A and B are shown apart, each in its own frame.
Chain A
Amino acid sequence: MSPHDATPAGPGPGPAPVAAGAAPRFAAAVANPKVLRRELTLNERLFVGPFVKALWYTFTRMFRKDITRRYPEQKMEVKPTLHGVPVLVMKEDGAPRCVACGLCEFVCPPRAIDIQPGETDRPIEREPKTFVIDMLRCIECSYCEEVCPEEAIVMSTEYEVVGRRREDFVWDLKKLLKPAQELAARIAWVRKTYKRWDAAAEIAPPPGGVFRDPRWAGRERPVDSH
């Protein structure tokens, strides 16, 4: 194969390959409109006219509605799509929904999450012993929320994270846990969005805040199918 019969890169209507030899240089340029490059008019060269016009333009802006916000007093309108800092969802009994599977820890690009798993005697026997998010590292990408198989970590609407020392930004379970009602809007959004193409995958509200396969209903723990 010689490069002459190499396929032109990419499909579709590019500039058609030109016959070799007679190729006009940069044939691609032919069909492009030239930008208008005009000389200044006399008025513009005298400068005063356009100067006054521009000043007038700026002057008229003074009477428009403000587009800026007086920030600390006037807060941003919070929508469910907003990515605030990630927080953990609390079950009714005050424990986190999280089962310390570590998926969010794995996916977090800046490695902001640190989980130490632990065991309990409750039906769902795994829970995080410690769960720490370093808010200085977190880039609020929402990947953790997207991958969590338990709907246990969601983006809150809190976007003002302040502190005096670095340690203030390392949030532990106590700071991270938020009751589910507070996060209802975002949880609803997560359910709606991450259905993806599958509208049928309707999620029933979890009994007791725990998701279970309906086939397991009534059983404390799943029966091993083997």
Chain B
Amino acid sequence: MTTLTERIVTVADLPQPPGEGDLHSEPMELSMGPQHPATHGVLQCKLILDGEKIVRIDPVMGYLHRGKEKHAEHMTYQQFFTLTDRLDYLQPLANEVGWALTVEKLAGIEVPARAQAIRTIICEFMRLSAHLVWAGIGGVDTGAVSMFMYAFRDREALFDLLDELTGLRTNQEYLRIGGVGTDLPAELIVKMKAWIADFPAHIDQFELLLTGNRIFHQRMRGVGQISAAQAIDLGVTGPCLRATGVGVDLRRARPYLLYPQLEFDVPVGTRGDAYDRYLVRIEEMRQSTRILKQLLDQLPAGDWIAKDWKNVLPPKGRVYTSMEEMIHQFKTVTDWCPPKGEVYQATEAANGELGFYLLSAGESHPYRVKIRSPSFINLQALKPMAIGAWFGDIVAIIASLHFIMGECDR
């Protein structure tokens, strides 16, 4: 019988400290988190320090594990949207888009152009929302507390827009299989355009506060540096990978939605340190506004949900008045079965490649869902980034990596 004992790294495992007379101290074990304000959620980092240097780091996670993949096997496809919302809770709608694309690919549903455009719009808004939180929290972690206020000011205004569209500020449950929940009304487009017109100036203000700030420089530059080869080996995606100079963006590499028709750049960094990750994200915010401008200026007309009698709920008026549609409604809600098959669909979320691997046995609920969450994989890079760094840098490293524990633990 095997015993499952935890392998705990203890001080005794470490090489002995240098001989007497040396100023080196003994290695020290330190637990950071799970309720540390700088670990962004419930992550525990078991650190072993040699003086102020980190010699070992062991992230402990799972505090937020809710068994989403197991739950998915017992929910209908539409119901699972509510759980994807709570993956990366800074960009709920982007997760929903990822799941919607997966299911639609499985069932072969054509999504009308307007719905696709609305989805692209909310994806980019979500990227902004996630990057804004990142900018705010990253500012706080490196000592720029007022940054938090400015970032959240813009995020609140952004959420006001989404609130008007979806009815909820966060965890919106807005996506439907085959389209979106409601249309994007014309007056809201005007408001969105106004917000976007203002926003680049606000990014400049963030840069005024951070980019040229000497303290910020000293906290971020050369900290948590990894090379491109290392990042690829560790499966890092998203801004953290692009900061190392690898210009891989799924919006370009495996395009989805309307991205092939849009004009935008994929900024890359040069050195792969925390400062580059900051710069890349700031530039991505600019590119997102650029995308949003293009989309809002020429939003295609048409339906916002597929005219697909087999896969989408029938128009309500007909449900009220005709028995066939009523049965149809019941059938679609309770027993909508996509064909057998399997699909892997990835989207570029704010933190990297958010993939859903879906196995369907032709039932009304998925057979198996694997969520490839970018935060979980990117978090592996914490080890090479942190080892050898100063203890004080770990906060900046965590801030620049930007993982969301809701997504890590699933």
Instruction: Flag if A203 contacts B269 (CB, 8 Å).
Output: no
Q: How far is the CA of A183 from the CA of B100 in the complex (A)?
A: 31
User: Given contacts A149-B319, A194-B315, is CB(A40)–CB(B217) below 8 Å?
Assistant: yes
> Does B307 touch A at the CB level, under 8 Å?
yes
B254's partner among A14, A139, A201 (CB-CB below 8 A) is: A14
Nearest CB of chain A from residue B57's CB, rounded to whole Å: 27
Pair A40/B212 contact, Cβ less than 8 Å: yes
Scan B299-310; emit 1 where CB is below 8 A from any A CB, else 0.
000010101000
Q: Which of B266, B317, B319, B330 contacts A32 (CB 8 A)?
A: B266
Given A40-B217, A193-B182, are A149 and B326 also a contact pair (CB < 8 Å)?
A: yes
- What is the bound-complex CA distance between A182 and B209, given in angstroms? 48
Nearest residue (CB) in A for B176 is A146
Q: How far is the CA of A12 from the CA of B258 in the complex (A)?
A: 11
How far does the Cβ of A113 sit from chain B's closest Cβ, in whole Å? 13
Residues on B with C-beta less than 8 A from A122 are: none
B333 touches which of A31, A106, A201 (Cβ 8 Å): A106
- Chain A residue contacts of B276, Cβ below 8 A: 35, 37
Provided the pairs A10-B253, A35-B268 are in contact, do residues A67 and B247 lie with their beta carbons within 8 angstroms? no
How far is the CB of B226 from the nearest CB of chain A, in Å? 15
Q: Is B173 an interface residue (CB 8 A)?
A: yes
Complex contact A50–B248 (CB within 8 A) = no
For B321, give its contact among A33, A141, A213 (CB under 8 Å): A213
Shortest B295–chain A CB gap in Å is: 17
> A151 within 8 Å of B by Cβ?
yes
What is the minimal beta-carbon distance from B373 to any residue of chain A, in angstroms?
20
Instruction: Among B83, B246, B252, B334, point to the contact of A14 (Cβ < 8 A).
Output: B252
1/0 contact trace for B171-189 toward A, CB 8 Å? 1010000000111000000
Q: Does B7 reach chain A (CB closer than 8 Å)?
A: no
Q: How far is the CA of A31 from the CA of B265 in the complex (A)?
A: 9
- Asked if B164 contacts A81 (CB within 8 A), the reply is yes
How far apart sit A83 and B164, CA to CA, in the bound complex (Å)? 10
Chain B residues, CB < 8 A from A81? 163-167, 182
Assembled-state Cα–Cα distance A214/B146 (Å): 63
The residue of chain A having its C-beta at the shortest distance from the C-beta of B157 within the complex is A67
Q: Which B residues touch A214, using CB under 8 A? A: 321
Across the interface, do B313 and A10 meet the contact criterion of CB distance under 8 Å? no
B254–A83 touching, CB < 8 Å: no
Which of A51-59, A88-96, A163-171 forms contacts with chain B? A51-59
Question: In whole angstroms, what is the CA distance A72 to B303 when docked?
Answer: 39
Cβ of B228 under 8 Å from chain A: yes
* From A50, A110, A150, residue with most partner B Cβ within 10 Å: A50
Enumerate A86-137 residues with CB–CB distance to B below 8 Å: 101, 103, 106-107, 109-110
A28–B246 touching, CB < 8 Å:
yes
A34 touches B (CB below 8 Å): yes
Smallest beta-carbon distance A218→chain B, Å? 15
Max count, chain A CB within 10 A of own CB: residue among B166, B214, B312: B214
Q: In this assembly, does A5 line the interface, its C-beta being within 8 Å of a C-beta of chain B?
A: no
B78 within 8 A of partner (CB):
yes
Which listed residue (A14, A41, A107) contacts B78, Cβ 8 A?
A107
What B residues does A29 contact at CB under 8 A?
Answer: 245-248, 268
Most buried by A among B164, B181, B269: B181
Query: Which chain B residues in 318-334 approach chain A with CB under 8 Å?
Result: 318-323, 326, 329-330, 333-334
Count of chain A to chain B residue pairs whose CB atoms are closer than 8 Å in the complex: 191
- Take A34-B268, A47-B214 as given contacts and tell me if A194 and B78 are in contact as well, using a CB distance cutoff of 8 Å: no
Q: A73 near B: Cβ within 8 Å?
A: no
| Residue B79 is within 8 A (CB to CB) of chain A in the complex | yes
Interface size for B (C-beta < 8 A) is 74
A25 to chain B, nearest CB (A): 9
Knowing A35-B276, A141-B82, the reply to whether A50 touches B228 (Cβ < 8 A) is no
Q: How far, in whole Å, are A101 and B327 apart by their CA atoms in the complex?
A: 12
Given A33-B268, A37-B271, A155-B167, the answer on whether A198 and B252 have CB atoms closer than 8 Å is no
Cβ-defined contact, B212 with A50, below 8 A = yes
Contact B205 A57, beta carbon cutoff 8 Å: yes
Residue of B nearest to A210 (CB): B320
> With contacts A28-B246, A54-B209 known, is A147 near B173, CB below 8 A?
no
User: How far is it, in angstroms, between the C-alpha of A101 and the C-alpha of B330 when the chains are bound?
Assistant: 10
Which of chain B's residues 249-304 have a Cβ closer than 8 Å to chain A? 252-256, 260, 265-271, 275-276, 279-280, 282-283, 303
Say yes or no: is B75 at the interface (Cβ < 8 Å to chain A): yes
Option from A32, A50, A141, A193 in Cβ contact (under 8 Å) with B214:
A50
Q: Is A191 in contact with B316, judged by CB distance below 8 angstroms?
A: yes
B residues 34-87 near A (Cβ < 8 Å) are 75-76, 78-79, 82-83
Residue in contact with B316 in the complex, picked from A13, A140, A190, A222, CB distance below 8 Å:
A190
Question: Nearest chain-B residue to A82 (Cβ)?
Answer: B167
Question: What are the 4 A-B residue pairs with the smallest beta carbon separation, nearest first?
Answer: A201-B317, A32-B247, A194-B316, A10-B254
Chain A interface residues (CB < 8 Å from chain B)? 9-15, 26, 28-37, 40-41, 44-45, 47, 50, 53-54, 57-58, 67, 79, 81-83, 101, 103, 106-107, 109-110, 139-143, 146-147, 149-151, 155, 190-191, 193-198, 201-203, 206, 211-214, 222
A-B contacts, 23 listed (Cβ < 8 Å): A14-B255, A28-B252, A32-B268, A33-B267, A34-B245, A34-B269, A35-B269, A44-B213, A50-B212, A54-B146, A58-B146, A81-B165, A107-B78, A141-B82, A149-B326, A149-B329, A150-B320, A195-B315, A195-B316, A196-B312, A211-B321, A213-B321, A213-B322
Contacts beyond the supplied A109-B82, A146-B313: 11 A-B pairs with Cβ under 8 Å: A28-B252, A37-B270, A41-B212, A81-B167, A81-B182, A83-B167, A103-B329, A107-B334, A141-B173, A149-B326, A212-B321
